[in-house]
Structure 1
Amino acid sequence: MNPTSFNASFIRIPLLSIALIALTNTAIAGGSINGHSIMDDYLKDKASTSAVALSTSKLSTSITINNNALVFNRGATDVDNDDFDKKFSFAKTLTSIRNSSGATTNSTDTQLLNSLLNTLKVSSKTNGFVEMDLQKREEKVSLSAMSPTAIFNRFDLSASNGEHCGEYRVVYHKNNGGRFFLIFESQYPNPEPSKGKQGCFAVADFWQKIGDMSKTDALAQLEKFFYKGLVHKGVKLPAAINFANYTHGTGQVRSNSFIKSPWQLREFKADINAKGEVVFVADSVKSNPLTNLFAGENNTDSDSLKALKINFDRDFDAYADNLLAPERRASNPSSSDIINGFSLDNDDSYNEFQSDASDNDNTAKGKNKNLNTIINNKLTALNLPNYNAKMIRNRAEAMSCGGCHQNSNDTEIAPNVNWPKSRFFVHVDEQGTLSPALIEQFLPARAALLKDYLQKTTGTTVEKWRFAEVDYSSARNDFGFHNASNNFNNQAFATLQADGSITAWGNSGYGGTGAPTGSGYTKIYSNRYAFAALKIDGSITAWGDSDFGGGTGAPTGSGYTKIYSNPEAFAAIKADGSITAWGLSSSGGTGAPTGSGYTKIYSTGSAFAALKADGSITAWGNSVFGGGTGAPTDNGYTKIYSNQYAFAAIKADGSITAWGSSSSGGSDAPTGSGYIKIYSTVSAFAALKADGSITAWGSSYVGGTGAPTGSGYTKIYSAWGAFAALKADGSITAWGDPDCGGAGAPTGVYTKIYSNAGAFAALKADGSITAWGNSAWGGTAPTGSGYTKIYSNEYAFAALKADGSITAWGNSNYGGIGAPDDSGYTKIYSTLGAFVAVKADGSIKAWGDPSHGGTTPTVTD
């Protein structure tokens, strides 16, 4: 497909009301899952001999998984096709979606189907700034022309954090004329969300029991599961076919058709239009980047496409890691673990709106040399001399719809490992016959995962530690220090247990004691001095310093969907987009806007700014920090960034408006457009353009001046008072306060930069580390290689190796020494002056300042 033009004024606003979006916990144009799936967890555990030994010792239950637990298909032995047609009629599915939508205007099944077919008549659609061609198709399909083909259990797509329990799919085919399929892919909510992924046990067990039933009994139970809901193992399982499970941020409907050449696959979301009617709207096809992004440079490329290519080349470094996940998990993965173990997981901004199963749309044949360079560097770092870039590009194509259904058949994805074959553009045909790929690879892997999950969950302890949404390290290194949705807690940790109860430790004045008793909590949020926990009904309990939102100041009632914070106050948003704030009054604890329709809240050190769907902004809190009346009065803004004292909002065309402290970047924002992201130190901003050029403003002492000239930078990192920018070639340029790493950046080729308040630490492809900045805060790194990720607190760093061993350095009073000397750790969290490391078996070790949470808590199971 080709992009056609640049549309600078385009802003994507979904048809679905904000209230409904919030109610279903969806994100606009969200991806397939949030984070890793349990298949990733399973393969990682499988690659670890210690994990295998652990799980084997616990698996006393004999569980059998057969294909009947994974697929129910017409034409299979003992399947009554007529009964299948009746119980899963196409009209029944559409009616269930309409009836569960809450739509204010009645419509018919035919109108709902036609809304989908009408999207095929559009010749172009815009994703971000790039307008993309679409092949117009005149599909003529009636309700009676569609018959159920198969039902698929995709428990393997469950989110590893338990946010949802996978997808449950019903495939329909056109029973006369040209070939046309519709697949309804319901993303299933976790029926016991407080238990994390263990809350999906009843869902998994239900499907395992389906496999043991006769086809007649199985069909009757599946009808209940999909259309009515049922109770299994004492757990209420809601109906899978529900409007909320097919809308923005959840599941989807896909089409696969050959009524007109070529075979083409598209994706749709359930929505509500301006008339209040249920409709299907076209959405981007996930894991299907625009074919042109894989192609070489072309002088005819539009400016918008050139900008998109720069961004894609920059982000492909992470995508290459996803594609090489099997080799990163194990030194010699099996062919099955390779085939079932990688993903592309690209950002949705790169996806197109149709995927053709044709040679012209085969991304593996692209000539983008930058991608090959990135892949070859990865292969060298992993010591894979027998691999080549083409194999990894074949993997990327296999993740697309067109690739998996045709283009990637029998292509080499590793030495002597080929991608399995589809069944002539489909994986299940009109007669219910399954593809070789399903029979030989996908179904056996899904069966093994389901068995492993059930065995490990039955009678074993479940996930022990689910930390607050933001900690120091994630704020500094994942979000950008001042751009996380919450301020981390300075001196205490708080975690959810499997039953939704809370364990906290650290400074009692910061919430280290006083956590609520009882269970049923689903998430914990924080500010600098307090915590606030959310229950499944949307009620809130807060504890910590009462002056800053702990104690009794939290709102009563229920219905809240998310909590935001600045260092000294909280702001909670409801499903209808209304906001309630509490905490220090002068920092935004009072004065929140009335009304509804807000979609997200941002913060500086003492103020909040809330964004509406139309891109308008309302700010409140300390006016010196950007609260009050200084926010822009126009609309069209898509995101807000901040430092300690000022906000900077960006529009769809990449223009910027700033407000707040003028000496800290609240004025003098760059003119012009084309900026794609903004980064910050304590009182300066640095904005990145699509061509990789940088403009900085704000306090000159902390990076407001001195930004590098030229282009080619892909990401900017920051310490308290300095910036460090990484180029696509792996080189680094730093500027700002020399005592914070604004000088002394290393030469060489690096893949990622991490930071604390006073130093930077850069990681190479071989896992070696170079640090610079304040030596007392970690500006001198450990020797050796093999490190995979670096975490930080305010004063120190902690680096994790592939075997789960940890090396810490920096201020000895705050975690620079005292790291655990064993291995097997998978993740590290931090407060201002302490770390805590978590193992896969749920054991933890804390170190650093005891008053900051550096003492390992004792928990009684």
Structure 2
Amino acid sequence: MQLERHAPVCAALVIALSASPTGAAVSGFCTAGGDGRSTLGFDLKPSMVVHSAAVLDATRGELGLDGEAADRAFSFSRTIGALLESASAPADAAAQEAFVQTMLYSFRSPTGRMLNAEAGIFMPVDDRPEEAALSASAMLDDDGAQGMVPLALFNRFDLAPETWSHCGEHRIVYGLKRPEPDSPADRFLLIFEAMVPNPSPEAGEAGCRRVTEFWAGLSGMGEIEQAAALSAFYYDGTTGHADGDLSGPVVHFRNYGGDGNRGQVRANMFMEFNWQLREWLTQLTFAESGPALAFLPVTVKDNPLSQLFRDDLAADADVMAGNVPAAVTALHGDFVKTLTSDFVPNLMSEGSRKYGLLLDGLDGLDLGASPVDETAVLLGTIGLGAPDRFNEHQSTSQGGVDVPGEEPAGASVAISGLLDAAGAALGTASIPGQNGQTILNRAAAVTCGGCHMTAARSSPGHFGGPGAVIRENVDASVVRWPDVHANGFVHVNEADRALSPALEEEFLPFRRYVMGRHLCADLDAGAAPEEPGGEVPDPYALVLERRGVDVPEVATDARYLEAVVQDYLGGIGRGRETVGLVGASLEAMTEGLSDPERQGLRLAVSRAIEAAREIELVLTEGAYVETRRPH
């Protein structure tokens, strides 16, 4: 078994972690100094990001894994196969191709629009025939000319919620193999962003120590040791920690939106004009035949339909096409109210409590070669928190079409005036209120398209810098959004795995600082964490009621899929047949369902997942940042 093959490396990691305090006390990766400041015992690389060829190109043979010895240990095929296996589905070559094909099919949009059911309107969506024409089999061929290559592994512990139901996201980035010689087109990247449930939810924050200390421990390893440990972590759930392992593999369909409140798969693509980003969840189809698992296209989170930032939509043919005018008007009015009441405070994070805590905490840590200043804290805390009814199904990062308030010129005069007033009201003695344009720049920066280009390059056309102004200071200096990779549009370059200045200089040091605060906290001294489950808070209960979900575990537990299936089966009169099936396979639970019943089950599960994700993304604060932006 793979677990046994990883045993020598993982045993070494257990020894390293066991030699220092584990569990709830101050971590052994944090050392108190005589000046009252603590020093972190882990480096930015590899403990926050791994992008070295020695790790990512390590082969199965080098790590002693089953399968083709020459294949990469982090190959695209291995990840797709692991997702299928986690759903107890066939994972052979044909099944893998069929699964990937569900994503490729989603790029076709003959009507040029897609329904946002939460909003009650169609929203424009581009037809992408070049992406749809990609070959699933070629993408899965690790040695082929058009294979997907692993580019980086990211530790996003900073996305953990204040409830500590999960320990953030842990990501794998893939990119289409670059042709020789390189060209500006034919670019396609996927990022698998797994939510990792807290392995000891009853311990609260302390339960995530086995995750954070795993990543911190990579800094004391050689690169092949790192590759072996990371392989075991992602595909087996092995941490090598004295307190135990994860509750399951990181690469599991449930962790990408199939069961839980966070996690997704995103694409950044340029097989044709324009550069664009999309998003999917991996969900069970409950079908008797065909793929057991599918990539389900969903809205791109924190990416409101850009036209909502305009003063009037009545003359916008793209938005009005096929829609009830009153529904568009109602959504637009709702958006404007939410923009001034909720989004502006989220975007003006300098006034938030957790921003202040992060700023105050800088004095207590010696961050060494990866310093963090107030600008990095600002860049790490700006968020939008957009409810899904406002979000569209694509985010375009080329040109100004998706930049709030930019196109057409003069279309957002009244909106800018409202934001002038809202921004001015949030000023302080040290940080002045910001004008409407600066707030619009922040709103652009926290979208996928903005972070990947349009906020990083503010010149006309958005091909050149500098970054957009996101704050005007008292002394007339400004803070600008940091840059993407020199070639544009990406934060990890496919050709050489180089990282963007935004990652190297701002985002990664900030994330290391956040994990350092966690590792340096004496969690024994805190209040006892609440037991998971229990009574559903009123705001969460309202979400369940509005979405027609009658399963309280959806709001309180990290896993609820089986409970939703049980509830649905009971509701169609199969309750007696399901007695004793708790813990049984989902295949056994759904055996004998008719096609309409399976369709009803898909709808029930989809509603539950949507409710859980709304509770997590909109109603739940982050452990360290109030509004956690998805990218």
**TM-score tier (shorter):** 0.5 to 0.7
Aligned to 1:414: 471
Which of 276, 286, 311 is residue 334 of structure 2 equivalent to? 311
Is it true that 1:120 corresponds to 2:107 in the alignment? yes
Aligned to 1:240: 250
Aligned to 1:299: 314
The question of whether the paired residues in 2 share the 8 Å contact of 1:246 and 1:269 is answered with yes
Aligned to 1:166: 168
Query: Following TM superposition, by how much is the alpha carbon of 1:297 offset from its aligned partner in structure 2, in angstroms?
Result: 0.4
Alpha-carbon separation, structure 2, partners of 1:580 and 1:391: 53
Is it true that 1:460 corresponds to 2:484 in the alignment? no
Q: How many residues are aligned here?
A: 463
The question of whether the paired residues in 2 share the 8 Å contact of 1:328 and 1:382 is answered with no
Which of 116, 135, 152 is residue 150 of structure 1 equivalent to? 152
The question of whether the paired residues in 2 share the 8 Å contact of 1:171 and 1:181 is answered with yes
- Change beyond 3 A, Cα 1:62–1:481: closer
Which of 492, 510, 514 is residue 449 of structure 1 equivalent to? 514
- Change beyond 3 A, Cα 1:110–1:593: closer
- Change beyond 3 A, Cα 1:161–1:535: closer
Query: Following TM superposition, by how much is the alpha carbon of 1:299 offset from its aligned partner in structure 2, in angstroms?
Result: 2.4
- Change beyond 3 A, Cα 1:372–1:192: farther
User: What SS class does the counterpart of residue 452 from structure 2 fall into?
Assistant: helix
User: What SS class does the counterpart of residue 319 from structure 1 fall into?
Assistant: helix
The question of whether the paired residues in 2 share the 8 Å contact of 1:247 and 1:270 is answered with yes
- Change beyond 3 A, Cα 1:176–1:327: same
Is it true that 1:327 corresponds to 2:312 in the alignment? no
- Change beyond 3 A, Cα 1:310–1:111: same
Q: Which amino acid aligns with 1:209?
A: G
Query: Following TM superposition, by how much is the alpha carbon of 1:79 offset from its aligned partner in structure 2, in angstroms?
Result: 4.8
Which of 124, 127, 130 is residue 133 of structure 1 equivalent to? 124
1:476-555 equivalences in 2 (<5 Å): none
The question of whether the paired residues in 1 share the 8 Å contact of 2:48 and 2:154 is answered with yes
Aligned to 1:191: 199
User: What SS class does the counterpart of residue 361 from structure 1 fall into?
Assistant: coil
Q: Which amino acid aligns with 1:421?
A: D
The question of whether the paired residues in 2 share the 8 Å contact of 1:68 and 1:212 is answered with no
Which of 387, 392, 396 is residue 434 of structure 2 equivalent to? 387
- Change beyond 3 A, Cα 1:56–1:186: farther
Aligned to 1:426: 490
Q: Which amino acid aligns with 1:124?
A: R
User: What SS class does the counterpart of residue 170 from structure 1 fall into?
Assistant: strand
The question of whether the paired residues in 1 share the 8 Å contact of 2:103 and 2:296 is answered with yes
User: What SS class does the counterpart of residue 262 from structure 1 fall into?
Assistant: coil
- Change beyond 3 A, Cα 1:56–1:324: farther
Instruction: Report the aligned-residue RMSD.
Output: 4.0
User: What SS class does the counterpart of residue 136 from structure 1 fall into?
Assistant: coil
* Worse overlay, 186-195 or 102-111: 102-111
The question of whether the paired residues in 2 share the 8 Å contact of 1:73 and 1:150 is answered with yes
Query: Following TM superposition, by how much is the alpha carbon of 1:375 offset from its aligned partner in structure 2, in angstroms?
Result: 5.4
- Change beyond 3 A, Cα 1:296–1:100: same
Cα deviation digits, residues 372-427 of structure 1 (max 9, x gap)? 41552343243454521111111111111100000001111111111101111000
Aligned to 1:806: none
The question of whether the paired residues in 1 share the 8 Å contact of 2:172 and 2:192 is answered with yes
User: What SS class does the counterpart of residue 577 from structure 1 fall into?
Assistant: helix
Alpha-carbon separation, structure 2, partners of 1:347 and 1:613: 28
Aligned to 1:373: 418
- Change beyond 3 A, Cα 1:189–1:373: same
Which of 446, 450, 461 is residue 399 of structure 1 equivalent to? 446
Alpha-carbon separation, structure 1, partners of 2:544 and 2:159: 33
- Change beyond 3 A, Cα 1:234–1:381: closer
Q: Which amino acid aligns with 1:259?
A: M
The question of whether the paired residues in 2 share the 8 Å contact of 1:579 and 1:593 is answered with yes
- Change beyond 3 A, Cα 1:368–1:104: farther
Aligned to 1:287: 302
Alpha-carbon separation, structure 1, partners of 2:297 and 2:56: 34
Which of 392, 396, 408 is residue 352 of structure 1 equivalent to? 392
User: What SS class does the counterpart of residue 159 from structure 1 fall into?
Assistant: coil
Is it true that 1:81 corresponds to 2:68 in the alignment? no
- Change beyond 3 A, Cα 1:212–1:379: farther
Alpha-carbon separation, structure 2, partners of 1:468 and 1:188: 16
Which of 47, 50, 53 is residue 69 of structure 1 equivalent to? 47
Q: Which amino acid aligns with 1:269?
A: L
Query: Following TM superposition, by how much is the alpha carbon of 1:298 offset from its aligned partner in structure 2, in angstroms?
Result: 3.1
1:649-728 equivalences in 2 (<5 Å): none
Alpha-carbon separation, structure 2, partners of 1:420 and 1:59: 29
1:698-847 equivalences in 2 (<5 Å): none
Q: Which amino acid aligns with 1:116?
A: M
- Change beyond 3 A, Cα 1:381–1:166: closer
Aligned to 2:82: 96
Alpha-carbon separation, structure 1, partners of 2:126 and 2:403: 17
Higher fraction of strand: 1
Aligned to 2:403: 362
- Change beyond 3 A, Cα 1:313–1:368: farther
Cα deviation digits, residues 425-474 of structure 1 (max 9, x gap)? 000001110000000100100111111101104x63344253898999x6
Higher relative contact order (CA 8 A, sep 6+): 2
User: What SS class does the counterpart of residue 241 from structure 1 fall into?
Assistant: coil
Cα deviation digits, residues 550-604 of structure 1 (max 9, x gap)? xxxxxxxxx998xxxxxxxxxxx665216999xxxxxxxxx9987889xxxxxxx
Alpha-carbon separation, structure 2, partners of 1:296 and 1:130: 18
The question of whether the paired residues in 2 share the 8 Å contact of 1:70 and 1:207 is answered with yes
- Change beyond 3 A, Cα 1:398–1:60: closer
Unaligned runs of at least 5 residues, structure 1: 1-53, 486-521, 526-533, 539-558, 562-572, 582-590, 598-611, 617-634, 640-861
User: What SS class does the counterpart of residue 303 from structure 2 fall into?
Assistant: coil
Alpha-carbon separation, structure 2, partners of 1:482 and 1:163: 18
Cα deviation digits, residues 177-211 of structure 1 (max 9, x gap)? 51111111111111001112221110000000012
Aligned to 1:735: none
Aligned to 2:464: none
Alpha-carbon separation, structure 2, partners of 1:397 and 1:214: 40
| Percent of paired sites with the same residue | 28
Alpha-carbon separation, structure 1, partners of 2:338 and 2:201: 32
Aligned to 1:765: none
Unaligned runs of at least 5 residues, structure 2: 1-31, 61-70, 142-146, 180-185, 360-372, 457-466, 473-477, 580-596, 608-631
- Change beyond 3 A, Cα 1:379–1:121: same
Is it true that 1:342 corresponds to 2:382 in the alignment? yes
Q: Which amino acid aligns with 2:101?
A: N
Query: Following TM superposition, by how much is the alpha carbon of 1:478 offset from its aligned partner in structure 2, in angstroms?
Result: 8.3
Alpha-carbon separation, structure 2, partners of 1:173 and 1:215: 21
Is it true that 1:266 corresponds to 2:278 in the alignment? yes
Alpha-carbon separation, structure 2, partners of 1:482 and 1:434: 41
- Change beyond 3 A, Cα 1:592–1:265: closer
Cα deviation digits, residues 637-669 of structure 1 (max 9, x gap)? x99xxxxxxxxxxxxxxxxxxxxxxxxxxxxxx
Q: Which amino acid aligns with 1:161?
A: T
Alpha-carbon separation, structure 2, partners of 1:163 and 1:241: 18
Alpha-carbon separation, structure 1, partners of 2:78 and 2:390: 35
Q: Which amino acid aligns with 1:109?
A: Q
The question of whether the paired residues in 1 share the 8 Å contact of 2:302 and 2:384 is answered with yes
User: What SS class does the counterpart of residue 211 from structure 2 fall into?
Assistant: helix
